[in-house]
Structure 1
Amino acid sequence: MLSGPTSTSDLKTRTRADYNFFVSYRTRWSDNDQYSHINNAVYYHLFDSIINAYLIAHCDLSPQASDAIGLVVSSYCQFFSPLSFPDVLDLGLRVNHVGKSSVTYEVGVFCEGNTEPAAVGGYTHVFVDAVSRKTSQMRDRTKEGLQRLFVGPSCSKPESKL
């Protein structure tokens, strides 16, 4: 069974201390929408950026040089307060589930200096062979890197057949 997001009220109580890996993002004028706040689609760009930065730097997983890739099978985002250019953001990453072939990430989006998130979201990757697209077991080095960010009761939850 793949882990999904926790309740909105649980996500809203997250703080910086709930995340183990951070990167900064300086918003751009083009990130704003017509209502002068960060466009919803930009949040998914931010999630993808921090997750892939971590995978490349700490899990020995480069999209250009790997026999396995992670495909997004589900995603979510809960918005709590608006952000806009020229805010500087701190993105926090944690892992809520690690299985044999899947991982569920959570990203907290914080305005620089704030302890409460403006948004919390994430997605689930299922690792597949880069050519055949058949589910493949996660490499040991990838799994070890992901387990460093794991927050939860155990890493042995039953896996779906994805």
Structure 2
Amino acid sequence: MANALKSRVRANYRFFLPYRLRWSDNDQYGHVNNSVYNFLIDSIVNSYLITHCGLVPNDPNPTKPIGLVVSSSCTYFSSISFPEVVDLGLRVNKLGNSSVTYEVGFFREGEDAVAAVGGFTHVFVCPEKRRPVGMVEEMRRGLEGVLVQEKAAL
């Protein structure tokens, strides 16, 4: 699996968001701290959901299903650090009735090789009961815009 992720290039992703790393993003070893990767993954996913899928942050009367993270991961191939600009690439690997699995590639500005690949799975639930429900059509249509279906191996 790690070899497949390491071979990812920009063309494998459908939506991009640049991020200028901050001094505080680095850890004592001079590279971006693991927790920052998770922050950036969450940022690009929610940016996409807001701009393309109808997500309304802090909705005072949430009636639409909400997405809860049920799993997350990140695999690192090379270090990134301040003051670099990182291009975050987003794709959806799996789109179910009530769940979606996102993948985010981390690319140094101007480079095609991936530095890291991470992501998480959202399960959409009823805001009150927190039980899985189907996602709304606007959300599904937006997510289909970044869905990548891998060709099956022969």
Deviation at 1:129, TM superposition (A): 1.2
Tell me the residue number matched to 1:157: none
- Computed over aligned residues only, the root mean square deviation of the Cα atoms, in angstroms, reads 1.2
Q: CA deviation at 1:153?
A: 5.3
* 2:110 alignment partner AA: G
SS of corresponding position for 2:139: helix
**What are the equivalent positions in structure 2 for 1:83-122 lying under 5 Å apart?**
83-122=80-119
Q: Give the SS at the match of 2:114.
A: coil
2:66 corresponds in structure 1 to: 69
SS state of the match for residue 3, structure 2? helix
In the alignment, the residues of structure 2 paired with residue 62 and residue 14 of structure 1 have an alpha-carbon distance, to the nearest angstrom, of: 31
Moved more, 66-75 or 103-112: 66-75
Of 74-83 and 55-64, deviating more is: 55-64
Which residue of structure 2 aligns with residue 17 of structure 1?
A: 11
* 1:143 partner letter: R
Deviation at 1:42, TM superposition (A): 0.2
1:159 aligns to what?
none
Q: What secondary structure is seen at the aligned counterpart in 2 of 1:141? A: helix
Structure 1 stretches of 4+ with a deviation exceeding 4 A read none
Q: In structure 1, list runs of 5 or more residues that go unmatched.
A: 1-6, 155-162
Aligned-pair identity in percent equals 56
Counterpart in the other structure of 1:78? 75
Q: Secondary structure at the match of 1:118?
A: strand
Residue 46 (structure 2) pairs with residue 27 (structure 1): no
The residue type equivalent to 2:139 in the other structure is T
Question: Given that residues 63 and 69 in structure 1 are in contact (C-alpha distance below 8 angstroms), is that contact kept between their aligned partners in structure 2?
Answer: no
CA distance in structure 2 between the aligned counterparts of 1:9 and 1:96, rounded to whole angstroms: 17
- Name the CA distance, whole Å, in 2 between partners of 1:76 and 1:9: 15
Question: What stretches of structure 2 of length at least 5 have no aligned partner?
Answer: none
C-alpha distance in 2, partners of 1:116/1:62?
34
